Amino acid sequence: MKPLVKLAFEVCAAFILVAFGVGVDVLRLPFGITIDSIALSIVFTIIWIVGITNAVNLIDGLDGLCGGMSVVIFVVIGCIAIVERRMDITIITFLLAASTFGFLVYNAHPASIFMGDCGSLFLGFMISAISLLGFKSSTIVTLALPMLLLMLPIIDTLSAILRRTLKGRKFLEADKSHIHHLLMKQFGHRNTVIIMCGITTLFGFSAFVYMLNEMFGLLAIMIILLAVEIFIEKSAMISEHFHPILGICRRGLNRIKLITKIIKEHKEKKSAK
């Protein structure tokens, strides 16, 4: 199928979920801002489902990667559901985690079976739907928890769209500049899968930390995001000229060196007098 045809089916599937009551009811943002609109709720739900479905599909570029990360995400959502006393979500997520792990035994590198788009789109769709079903209270915090678990696919998707737009290519066109492709060049196939599943686990752990202590949780999240951002800039994943964080650091170091040089010259002139 062409990308637009698949996208149309994904939107239809999202509408079916909305019709059966799966989605965000009310968005409660910081500073007491509440958004209670049926139209905005439907739009947000469809964007969330289609976006996450495709984000998970995009990471299906290496043997065992999509399956491995999906297992981690299902387990973490299931554990959060236990804390929230949602046994229905817990049972569904652990069943999906166990069945995906059984598939992963044969899908790990070197794979003997492959999931293809049908498998990765299914996993992405289930993750997006369950996260909405499990966190329907819809505060900005509860929406942020599933987003944390899916942070790598989300970052990879946004980077791909930006990268292809800057190069004048269609954003649905495939390329070999995803995070997993860049990691594989340095660490190999198996290690790349382990690294990406490990980072997803760290994001999941930071979600639990945030639930216990907001300050430490935010600190952990910011550190992980900063590390991912530095990797994106160093690897020129988006563009060779895209390095805002590293650029700020370089400019800061250059200014420090300049100030140090001026002070040193001033001291030398003073001592010469």
Percent with pLDDT over 70 in the chain: 87
* More reliable by pLDDT, 240 or 80: 80
Peptide bond into 110 cis (omega under 30): yes
Mean pLDDT over 28-54 rounds to 80
**171 contacts 161 by C-beta, under 8 angstroms:** yes
| Residue 212 token pair | 């216990």
Ranges 14-18, 66-70, 98-102, 216-220: which has the least confidence = 216-220
Lookup result for tokens 């269609």: 170
Distance CA 90, CA 74 (A): 9
pLDDT at 138 over 50: no
Long-range contacts, 220-229 (Cβ 8 Å, 24+): 221/148, 224/151, 224/199, 225/151, 228/151, 228/152, 228/155, 228/199
**Which pTM was predicted?**
0.77
Q: Any alpha helices (H) in 150-243, and if so which ranges? A: 151-166, 179-187, 189-212, 214-234
Residue 250 CA neighbour count, 13 Å, CB half: 8
* More reliable by pLDDT, 210 or 91: 91
pLDDT digits (tens, 9 = 90+) for 69-118: 899 989 988 888 888 788 888 999 999 999 999 999 999 888 889 888 88
Mean pLDDT over 11-24 rounds to 90
Contacts of 116 (CB under 8 A, 6+ apart): 60
* Most confidently predicted of 56-60, 123-127, 130-134, 240-244: 123-127
- Predicted confidence at residue 11, as pLDDT, reads 95
